[in-house]
Structure 1
Amino acid sequence: MRVISLPCPHCQHRVRAAKSRTMSTLMKEITYMCQNPECGHTFVASLEVLRTLSMSAIPNPEVRIHLSQHVRNACANQLALFKND
């Protein structure tokens, strides 16, 4: 599996995830360290669930995630089919 990463915002070199902290079901903070010894920048970034692209087959009723426009349209189309029956 590929690790989610981004370049150092200062020198554009590779960074390494040093640690992470779960903030909520939908958000995690990740501490990154620049691998360029001349830079040495350490920073925190966030990883957040933003929207649903495909509905879960086993949804957690306590989790509320925005639906993408595509999913909203698909749901509206399915509801329209049921109304027409």
Structure 2
Amino acid sequence: MADKKFSFKKLMEYYDEVLSLPHRTEVARELRDEEDLFMLLIYSDMLGIPNPAFYYTLELYPHIIEKFHDWHLRMGMEKSPLEGIRCC
């Protein structure tokens, strides 16, 4: 009886994998786009775009500074646009 449950569980995992396979790139692209928008909102005040939530996002900088380099390269900026952050 335990073998049947184990094989059914494996079958369901395989079925789920087959259904989600074509959409993996779309999901990854959407997640990357959401992260890019979030980074733009976080650093918008430093880029000269007013950010009403600047005070609340200020404490997030130490956590996302490592991702900043990848973000500004994806946005088409060869060098860091921020004076205080030198990552290149």
TM-score normalised to structure 2 length: 0.23
More strand by share: 1
Larger radius of gyration: 2
More helix by share: 2
